[in-house]
Amino acid sequence: MIKIIRAEHIHQKVLRLYFSDHSWGDYDLQSLIDRQTELTLPLNDEAYFQQFFLELGALCWPNGLELSPGSIHKKLEERQQLHSETKTA
């Protein structure tokens, strides 16, 4: 099972996510926020957006919004935006 092991805010509504399979990708949440649901509306506020945290490998916010790491991983892979970490000796 894929988990998010680290998340960094890059710019605007984009987070760089690092996964347990040693892959990473920049995930733009703007299209999710544009849905204007009860759970995504608070993400319009930059300070609130940056309150993201990881819980059991999922991407979460204090209001209960929780995004599946497997789903994010699959979307990044489908968009060819998933990268593999390469280790140098």
Residue 86 has a pLDDT of 66
Summarised one tens digit per residue, pLDDT across range 2-26 is: 999 999 999 999 999 999 999 999 9
- Cβ burial 71-84 (10 Å sphere, 16+ → b, else e): ebbeebeeeeebee
N-term to C-term CA, the chain: 28
| Residues whose CB is less than 8 angstroms from the CB of residue 2 and which lie 6 or more positions away in sequence, other chains included | 19, 20, 21, 57, 69, 70, 73
User: What is the predicted pLDDT for the residue at 85?
Assistant: 74
Rounded CA-CA distance 14/30 in Å is 8
The domains of the chain, with CATH numbers, are 4-84 (3.30.2020)
